[in-house]
Amino acid sequence: MFKISLGEYTGKDFRAFIVKISGTEEKMFAEEIVMIGWSKADGLLDESLMKDDFREIVHKEYFPKEENKRRAGQVAGDLWRFIREMDVEHYVLVPTKEGFYIGKVAGPTTYNEMRIFNDTAYQRKVHWLNNKEPITLEKTPEDVQTRLKSVQSVIDASDLYQEIEFAMRIS
């Protein structure tokens, strides 16, 4: 049984992100990582880059024939959240068909060039909770379920700290 409390947090300092992973759950658990796609957008770990720079890099690598940069901007926002907003000790939720896995970020974003071919180059170390078992949807509050279904790859779910804690407590 999984019993964990987020009690040390309050709404203002709790951070959680939903990440639609690139790759497989097996790799995620075997390597204790969470990973995101868009691996050809190299160079995003440069701390001097701003959001507009992320968008330009994504546009150049993935959408060079598109006149507007709307799609590049959406992807850049996901990458920005994964690389810049997510941090050590934040929670990460990975949706599955059955529910979601939860872990605690244990390291900074890294870029593994050997993983470009399978689109998992951007990674973070994670300590997986709940014995690496998903928290089922039937034990997940509706607000969390709705956010898990978002089309974005990386979603800030920090405002749902009470609902996430509830789901973890009853699992």
Per-residue pLDDT of the chain (171 residues; tens, 9 = 90+): 344 445 454 555 789 999 999 878 888 999 999 999 999 999 999 999 999 999 999 999 999 999 999 999 999 999 999 999 999 999 999 999 889 999 999 999 999 999 999 999 999 999 999 999 999 999 899 999 999 999 999 999 999 999 998 888 887
CATH architecture of the domain 16-170 equals Roll (3.10)
Q: Tell me how far CA of residue 117 lies from CA of 22, 68, 82, 114, 134, in angstroms.
A: 12, 27, 20, 7, 28
Residue type present at position 140: T
- Bridging pattern class, strands 16-19 and 91-95: parallel
What single-letter DSSP state applies at residue 160?
Answer: G
- Bridging pattern class, strands 122-128 and 99-105: antiparallel
For residue 97, the model assigns a pLDDT of: 87
Question: Is 148 in contact with 93 (CB distance < 8 Å)?
Answer: yes
Residues 6+ away with beta carbon under 8 Å from 84: none
For residue 3, the model assigns a pLDDT of: 42
Q: Distance between CA 166 and CA 72 in Å, rounded?
A: 35
- Bridging pattern class, strands 122-128 and 110-111: antiparallel
For residue 12, the model assigns a pLDDT of: 59
What single-letter DSSP state applies at residue 131?
Answer: G
What single-letter DSSP state applies at residue 19?
Answer: E
Within 21-136, strands assigned E span: 33-36, 91-95, 99-105, 110-111, 122-128, 135-136
| Cβ count near 23 (within 10 Å) | 18
